[in-house]
Structures are given as structure tokens and as C-alpha cells.
């Protein structure tokens, strides 16, 4: 899928969902999913060091990789949203 | 917002807010399919898990090709050595015993769980790896039924053995062998929608049973048992797609 097609599918789906979702077909949905999955990237390879970070947690406290690290390691999960 | 989310779902582990997707970009997993002017989706990552060792190095990672499917945390533990005793079944014959386990006893539709296999073969007996001539049965686990989406399994490398009785050199396993695999549970829409109905019947939350088969053929130096297919079932509780947040107290 080229970038313009993806952009148009992604905009259109949200527009239709916002309008109540009446005109969405199964094939629209599958295109919407595919447009997001296309050419997915997975980041640092096994054996590579991860970037350092410092981000606020749900209590407003800044956490870094070192703060979060356990004795045996850290499971870091990236999820798409906690908002929707 | 994350604080409300954490409280609503009783989450105690740290949840980090990646404002502006800075860290997502640094990790190289920004979903670049999404145009910058998208009102809802811009800034999201390709979802996945990293197991990071204390020296900051990626030890294992799980990213699935469809964002509707997610790895389970239990799966990463199982792949990295933890024995899954919680959800397993033991199959025994006169010459071997096999333990087949899932990394968890509950999951959401669309999650991928880990599968473990341990086979303990009696001395002087062996089972087969691949590739094999047609007349022999290799060693394999398979899952089937409406819950199963994708399944992949990797047996460890077999060793070559000259079987004197038949004068053939074949790949075999002896003693104790361990293998792991990945089982993707079918995705089910968390909220029913007409346009999703053609994708298949929704999976009802609750206790299900995963059905599978363990195939093998055991031989000794002198004789071969016929190939065997042993059926098994493992319980799996499928959680409701969007769990209701616990009621606020007070």
C-alpha cells in the first residue's frame, strides 16, 4: 500500500466511526487494519542495547531504565494507547 | 489519564507516558503508516514486548504482524527458561512421557501464548526428528479447533544415528528433549459490529478447551512401535475483550 492510500484509508475510517459507523464494510475494516500493520518495525535487535529514557509514570514520578530494571531484567511493553 | 486507567484496572506496575512519542521514535517503532495530521492514531507504536537484561541489552522480543494480536507476558517467560507448571498435561506411554504446557491458563482473544514440550524417553529408545522417509513418523505437536489462529513450533536439532537394524542413518532424539512454540488465539471483536461478523463467530468469554495432538514414533535398536497420535486437551479461560473496570468505592 502506498502512503497516500494508507493516509486516506486511515482518515476515512475515523471519520466514519465519528459519524456513527453506519457505512463501514468488512472490507473497509480489513483495509484499515492492513494500513496500520504495513511494514511493521520492531526496533532494537536481540543483542542490541536499548535507548535510555526518562518518562513520567502514572503517579507523575520520573522513571528511567535503571529505576525500572529488576534483578533478572525488565519486560518493557509498548501498547498503542491507554486512551481508546 | 494514566493514573485513572491504572486505578480503574487495578494496575500496580509502572505505566509510562511517552508524550510526543519521543521514546517510541528512539526505539524506532513509531507507526509510520499513520499520517502526521491523523486526529486519533498519529504517534502510536507498533505494539510489542522487549525482555531487557540488566545490562540494557535486548534479550528477547515479541512483535506480531497484526496489531490486533498481542504477545502474552507469560509467553516471554516460557521462551526464556521458566517452566510452565501452571497449565500442563502429561501423556505417558510404556516408553516415554511427554508434558505439554501453555504459558498461561487465561488470555484475551488475539493474544499469542507460549507452548512448551518436554519429552522423556526411556534409555535405548528414541523418537524421530526431520527430515524423514515417508514410512516414519516424526515428533510433532499440533493444535486444532475454533480458538486456534496460528501455531508454530520448533523442535531442537536432532542427532544423526545409524540404525543398524535397518541400516539407515536418521535424525533422532533420545533422553530428554525440550521445545517451545507459539500459539495465536483467534482475535474476537471486543464490541460486536455488523461489519466484523463475516470475519467469524465471536469467541465467548469463559472456560474453553484447546484440543491438540502429539504425534511420534518410538523405536529401539531392535524394533519399532507403530506411529502414535495421542490427543490431549488444555483448559484456557478466555477473558472478555474489554474488561469492565472495577466499581469505584466510596
Domain ranges of chain A: 3-37
3-state secondary structure (DSSP) of residue B213: strand
Q: Any residues with CB less than 8 A from the CB of B99 and at least 6 apart, and which?
A: B88, B89, B90, B91, B116, B117, B118
What is the nearest CA distance from B69 to chain A, expressed in angstroms? 11
Sign of the alpha-carbon dihedral angle for B237, A77, A36, A46 = negative
Report chain A's mean pLDDT, rounded to a whole number. Answer: 94
CB pair distance less than 8 Å for A74 and B33:
no
Q: For residue A81, give the C-alpha cell.
A: 494507547
Q: Do A36 and B5 touch (CB under 8 A)?
A: no
pLDDT level of residue B250 (50, 70, 90 thresholds): very low
pLDDT of A13-52, one tens digit each? Answer: 999 998 888 889 999 999 999 999 999 999 999 999 999 9
Disruptive mutation site among A8, A36, A49, A67 for chain B (greatest number of B CBs within 10 Å): A36
CA nearest to B74, candidates B120, B45, B47, B106: B106
Strands B106-107 and B228-238: parallel
On chain B, the residues whose CB falls within 8 A of the CB of A56 are 16-17, 19
Mean pLDDT of A1-7: 94
pLDDT in tens, A45-76: 999 999 999 999 999 999 999 999 999 999 99
DSSP string, B37-78: T-TTTTTPBPPEEEEE-TTSBEEEEEE-SSTT-EE-HHHHHH
The pLDDT confidence band at residue B83, using thresholds 50, 70 and 90, is low
Give the C-alpha separation, B232 to B100, whole Å: 9
Quote the pLDDT of residue B227.
96
Out of B106-110, B150-154, B162-166, which region has the weakest mean confidence (pLDDT)? B162-166
The answer, for B41 touching chain A at a CB cutoff of 8 Å, is: yes
* A74·B29 Cβ contact <8 A: no
- d(Cα A13, Cα B137) in Å, to the nearest integer? 50
- The answer to whether B18 faces chain A, any CB pair under 8 Å, is yes
Cα distance between residue B246 and residue B216, in whole Å:
47
Contact A73 B53 (CB under 8 A): yes
Instruction: Write the CB contacts of B234 (distance below 8 Å, at least 6 apart in sequence).
Output: B87, B88, B89, B100, B101, B102, B209, B210, B212
B8, closest residue in chain A (CA to CA): A82
Minimum distance, in Å, between the CA of residue A59 and any CA atom of chain B? 6
Whether residue B242 lies within 8 A of chain A, CB to CB, comes out as no
Residue of B nearest to A1 (CA): B33
Q: Which residues of A touch B192 (CB under 8 A)?
A: none
CB contact under 8 A, B67 and A37: yes
Residue A55: list chain B partners with CB under 8 A: 16-19, 23
CB atoms within 10 A of CB B209: 12
- State in words which class domain B68-238 has: mainly beta
- Residue ranges per domain, chain B? 68-238
DSSP-assigned beta bridge partners for residue A55 = A63
B18 touches A55 (CB < 8 A): yes
Amino acid at each position: 500500500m502506498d502512503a497516500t492510500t494508507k493516509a486516506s484509508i486511515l482518515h476515512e475510517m475515523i471519520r466514519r466511526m465519528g459519524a456513527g459507523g453506519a457505512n463501514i464494510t468488512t472490507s473497509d475494516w480489513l483495509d484499515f487494519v492492513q494500513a496500520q500493520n504495513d511494514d511493521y518495525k520492531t526496533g532494537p535487535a536481540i543483542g542490541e542495547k536499548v535507548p535510555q529514557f526518562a518518562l513520567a509514570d502514572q503517579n507523575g514520578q520520573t522513571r528511567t531504565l535503571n529505576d525500572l530494571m529488576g534483578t533478572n531484567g525488565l519486560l518493557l511493553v509498548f501498547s498503542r494507547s491507554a486512551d481508546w | 489519564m494514566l493514573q485513572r486507567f491504572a486505578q480503574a484496572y487495578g494496575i500496580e506496575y509502572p505505566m509510562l507516558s511517552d508524550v510526543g512519542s519521543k521514546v517510541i521514535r528512539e526505539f524506532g517503532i513509531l507507526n509510520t503508516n499513520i499520517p502526521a495530521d491523523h486526529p486519533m492514531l498519529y504517534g502510536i507504536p507498533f505494539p510489542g514486548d522487549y525482555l531487557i537484561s540488566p545490562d540494557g541489552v535486548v534479550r528477547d522480543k515479541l512483535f506480531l504482524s497484526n496489531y490486533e494480536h498481542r504477545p502474552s507476558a507469560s509467553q516471554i517467560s516460557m521462551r526464556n527458561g521458566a517452566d510452565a507448571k501452571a497449565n500442563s498435561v502429561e501423556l505417558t506411554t510404556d516408553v516415554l512421557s511427554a508434558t505439554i504446557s501453555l504459558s498461561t491458563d487465561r488470555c484475551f482473544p488475539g493474544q499469542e501464548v507460549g507452548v512448551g514440550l518436554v519429552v522423556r524417553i526411556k534409555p535405548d529408545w528414541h523418537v524421530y526428528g526431520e527430515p524423514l522417509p515417508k514410512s516414519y513418523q516424526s515428533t510433532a505437536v499440533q493444535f486444532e479447533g475454533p480458538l486456534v489462529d496460528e501455531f508454530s513450533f520448533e523442535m531442537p536439532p536432532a542427532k544423526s544415528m545409524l540404525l543398524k537394524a535397518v541400516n539407515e542413518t536418521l535424525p533422532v532424539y533420545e533422553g530428554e528433549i525440550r521445545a517451545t512454540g507459539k500459539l495465536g488465539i483467534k482475535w474476537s471483536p471486543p464490541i460486536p459490529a455488523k461489519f466484523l461478523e463475516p470475519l467469524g463467530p465471536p469467541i465467548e468469554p469463559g472456560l474453553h478447551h484447546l484440543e491438540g495432538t502429539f504425534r511420534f514414533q518410538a523405536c529401539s535398536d531392535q524394533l519399532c512401535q507403530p506411529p502414535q497420535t495421542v490427543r490431549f486437551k488444555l483448559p484456557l479461560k478466555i477473558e472478555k475483550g474489554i474488561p469492565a473496570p472495577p466499581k469505584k468505592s466510596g
